[in-house]
Each structure stands twice: as C-alpha cells, then as structure tokens.
Amino acid sequence: MPAAKKSATVAESPPAMPRRRGRPPKTDSPIGAEATLSRVAILQRAIELTKTMPLDQISMVQLAKDFGVAPGLIHYYLGGRDQLVSGVLNDYYRQRLGRLSSLTGDWRRDVESFVRLSFQVAIENPGVSIYVASHNRFRLFQDVQPGETDYGMEFFNRMTSAIMQGGFNADQVALGYHLLAQYLVSASMAEASRQLPAYHQAFIENKLESVSPLQYPGARFVSKSFSRLSSETAFEEGLRMTLDGIEGWKRDAGLATMPAASGAATPRKPRARKA
C-alpha cells in the first residue's frame, strides 16, 4: 500500500499593515525625529532662530523642515504667521519685563535701569530688534490666547508707571515713553545690524584721514573719535541726554508758573511815542 501523505502545516503570514496616507516623516532635522510637536515647542524654536536671523525671515516652511514634518502641521498647532510673530514678540517682552525691578519712587533711577535692561535683552535677540525697527504689527501689544498674558501691555504699563513717579502730566508721560521707546529701538537696531562706527573702525578712519583737511575740516577733526564710537559710549550718552530733556520739562514748567520774586520790579510796557 502506498504510504499515506503527511499533511504539511503551513504557517499563516500576519496580515499586512495598512499603509498610512501622506509623506513619511523626515528624520534629517536639527531638532530630531522624536521631537514633540506643540505650539510651545514651535515658538521656542522660532525664538531660538531669532538669535541668528531676523524674525521676518523665519517661515512656516523653515520651521517644518526643522521639525521634520509637513508645513500643514505647523499651521495646525500654531495657526497663521500672525500667531508666530506675536508669540515670539510676547516672549521678547516677557524677557524684558522679567528683568525689571519693582518701582522705587525715583522715576529717573527706575527708567534709566529699565531702559538699560531692555537694551540688554534687545542685544540678546537681534532678530527681534531688527523686526521691531522695521515693522508696526505687534510692535508692542500682542495677540494672545484666552488666559495668556500680553507682556507687551505689561511692559508698557510698567514703563509709564515709572515715568509717572516724576509728577509729569499725562501728555508728558506719553511723550516721554514714546521718546524712550524710539531711542531704544534705534540703539538696538544699530547694535543688531552692526551699524556702530567701531564695527568698521579701520575703514571709516582711513576714509576720513584720506580727505583734505582744508576741504573737509570737520570730517578730519573727528576722524579718530568718530571711528571709535561704540554702543558702550553712544548708548549711555544718548540715554542721559534723553532723560535730561524729560527732566527739563518739570524745570521749564516751574519757571513758567513761578510768581515774580519778592521786591522785583514788574517790567512795564513801553509807551507809544507821540506823533
């Protein structure tokens, strides 16, 4: 009799996993393929990038490449470009506010300290400084989510409150803040863009020394002094002059309302000559 055939046991292969739609995630990103994507993480990456590049050059596509994801995911977690810009600027003002001390009652001392500390934060965030100097949107007040703090508003309130300590009226406080803010923007932009003469000392000095002192006496006179100017000197002197001007408002107002000194003769109007 023929031998009975043994039944072969065939192992069943596992069912194939369904293929996901869309592109597979990239892994060659500076952050890493396992990075957790969130609104906070995206903003932190953008804040980090402003240390080396202007804020207005940071795009959703750039952030998507850094996280190794599709740009649509950046929009999903963050929203639009306005949310990106305002989120970075809100953190910028948070940094500035975090370094300010409590008010002491001495308006000039407080304002001088606040401006110096703000300038230091601006130097540490050159990409934001360049943006603030050239854009109006979110320059101060921010588009925050419910429950979040608008640190631009908080900073504005702290600065105006510091100036108020000097007894200035509302118009003077408003103008004083504006002048200080404009000075800070200008000084920060100059430092972030390396516009100070000291950054180009050799070129400027050689250029000024090469012209005729007879034709350009002023240029030759300041050739060495101008070419050495740095933010250490220019910022402090500019701040002092601005604060002196604001302080002068009280002195000028006092002179304008000061009554005539005791015993002083009141000047008479000149008599009209007879024809």
Q: Are residues 167 and 230 in the same domain?
A: no
Q: Are residues 116 and 52 in the same domain?
A: yes
Q: Are residues 64 and 77 in the same domain?
A: yes
Distance of CA 117 to the CA centre of its chain: 12
On whether residue 37 sits in a domain, the answer given is yes
pLDDT tens digits, 33-48: 445 899 999 999 999 9
Instruction: Look up the domain containing 108 and give its range.
Output: 33-193
| pLDDT above 90 for 266 | no
Q: What is the pLDDT of residue 21?
A: 52
For 57, the token pair is 């050059």
Q: Are residues 75 and 174 in the same domain?
A: yes
Residues 28 and 67: their CA atoms lie apart, in Å, by 9
Q: Where does residue 160 rank: exposed (0-12), middle (13-18), buried (19+ CB within 10 A)?
A: middle
Q: Which whole number is the average pLDDT over 110-125? A: 97
pLDDT tens digits, 238-262: 999 999 999 999 887 764 443 344 4
Q: Are residues 87 and 157 in the same domain?
A: yes
Domain count, the chain: 2
Q: Percentage of the chain surpassing pLDDT 70?
A: 79
Q: What is the pLDDT of residue 262?
A: 42
Distance of CA 245 to the CA centre of its chain: 24
On whether residue 216 sits in a domain, the answer given is yes
pLDDT tens digits, 45-61: 999 999 999 999 999 99
pLDDT tens digits, 66-106: 999 999 999 999 999 999 999 999 999 999 999 999 999 99
Q: Are residues 210 and 184 in the same domain?
A: no
Q: What is the pLDDT of residue 139?
A: 95
CATH of the domain at 138: 1.10.357.10
Q: Are residues 243 and 162 in the same domain?
A: no
